[in-house]
Amino acid sequence: MFKKNSSYALMTILILAATVLAACQPAAAPEAEVVEEPAAEEVAVEGKLAVGIVLPTKDEPRWIQDETWFKDALSAAGYDVEILFSQADPAKEKANVESLITKGVEVIIICPHDGSAAAAAAEAAMDAGVKVISYDRLIRDTEAVDYYVTFDSIAVGAQQGQYLIDNATGSGNPLYLYAGAASDNNAFIFFEGAWGVLQPKIADGTFVIKNSSEAVALQDKATLTRDEMSKIIGQVTTNWDFNDAKNLAEANLTAAPTADKGDVFILAPNDGTARAIADAYAADTDVTSYFISGQDAEMASVQYIIDGKQSMTVWKDVRTLVADAIGAAVALLEGETPVSKGAYNNGVIDVAAIQSAVVTVDKNNVVSTLIDGGYYDASDFTGLD
């Protein structure tokens, strides 16, 4: 963790940022094995901290990836790191932020569990004079956000939808839609990106939506308002939860007549939910084949892709996001404005942002992208020869 208020600390942070950026080059990248996670107390440093990190939950591999890369980046430069998890609880998230404020941090990097509920935590930070970087997910409905580091989430949804389109032939293909949690601003952006490419293919008859009357009612609209997306998401949300995803998929399959099955196309919002949904569709004997999307390149989904059980994932190189977050923290610690390329409106203000590109990964490029690039090790998987 960064130590506070010394030129030595700032110099080391700059070296650290350079180290992280260097780590983003595939050839120099460390292996992505998930390290044994020490409790926050074990890694807390003596004295005051300058930056704290709050992540939404330990229960999804995606956020363990972020924790791992933050730790790799910071410990490579000789720093311990305190990363607190909110365990899907906005009250715990706020308590985590307050605890970091008490320790004297100057910048907090927060990935909110619930974008709107996190406003209270961000405001507590602002009131204490602490800068807030919204990480991956946007904190909504408050002025208390200084900066946003994210991936190109429209592109995530667009790549998911495009993959389904590229694998569909003829017309009348059954399309099943699933979405993330309505409390996560990203769920809307992913859906917006997917709808943007899928809607023309629904309008021209390539796909027929089978599990959302709200989406069917809106299928002639190329662009949806947030309220319209809310209606659809309310009907097809997974809440980013494996069990919710499984239960919804099973309910959809039970409700669907045999004619709505056969060769199906499934928009799944991320890898955890994709595996749950894919398992449900694979277990239905009336489903002959399925194409299903995902995102995050979680190890379990990479194995599913190798095994032919998940069609694709959208890889978001977390090393880049970590480097961007550290770069922004360094700028804020120095009293500078972080470099931004655009802004995201959070319902109250336009938050200056930087966003990174994302990559479609399927069976054809899984080795060249994720293994040869050093993100994962070949020995992490079976069936790769």
Binding site for ligand BGC (CB under 6 A): 60, 62, 136-137, 180, 184, 186, 240, 270, 295-296
- Smallest gap from Cβ 384 to ligand BGC, in A, equals 24
Residues 82 and 44: their CA atoms lie apart, in Å, by 5
Residues 203 and 377: their CA atoms lie apart, in Å, by 43
Q: Nearer to ligand BGC by C-beta: 19 or 134?
A: 134
Q: Nearer to ligand BGC by C-beta: 50 or 179?
A: 179
Q: Nearer to ligand BGC by C-beta: 270 or 369?
A: 270
| Partner residues linked to 207 by β-bridges | 173
Q: Nearer to ligand BGC by C-beta: 13 or 179?
A: 179
Q: Nearer to ligand BGC by C-beta: 80 or 184?
A: 184
Q: Nearer to ligand BGC by C-beta: 207 or 315?
A: 315
Residues 164 and 180: their CA atoms lie apart, in Å, by 18
- Smallest gap from Cβ 207 to ligand BGC, in A, equals 24
Question: Residue written as tokens 């389904």?
Answer: 164
Task: Give me 303's structure tokens.
Answer: 């194995």
- Smallest gap from Cβ 190 to ligand BGC, in A, equals 8
- Smallest gap from Cβ 381 to ligand BGC, in A, equals 20
Q: Nearer to ligand BGC by C-beta: 44 or 182?
A: 182
- Smallest gap from Cβ 109 to ligand BGC, in A, equals 15
Task: Give me 68's structure tokens.
Answer: 């791992």
* Contact predicate 60/240, CB 8 Å: yes
- Smallest gap from Cβ 363 to ligand BGC, in A, equals 21
- Smallest gap from Cβ 361 to ligand BGC, in A, equals 14
Residues 112 and 144: their CA atoms lie apart, in Å, by 13
* Contact predicate 53/82, CB 8 Å: yes
**Residue 58 DSSP label:** S
Q: Nearer to ligand BGC by C-beta: 96 or 273?
A: 273
Q: Residue 47 region, left (φ>0) first, then alpha (ψ -120 to 50), else beta?
A: left
* Contact predicate 104/48, CB 8 Å: yes
Q: Which residue is nearest to ligand BGC (CB)?
A: 270
Phi and psi angles of residue 313, each rounded to the nearest 5 degrees, phi first: -140, 160
Question: Residue written as tokens 């090790």?
Answer: 377
* Contact predicate 349/328, CB 8 Å: no
* Contact predicate 12/77, CB 8 Å: yes
- Smallest gap from Cβ 38 to ligand BGC, in A, equals 22
- Smallest gap from Cβ 187 to ligand BGC, in A, equals 7
Q: Give the H or E element holding residue 345.
A: strand 343-345
Question: Residue written as tokens 């939910």?
Answer: 273
Q: Nearer to ligand BGC by C-beta: 49 or 325?
A: 325
Residues 85 and 111: their CA atoms lie apart, in Å, by 10
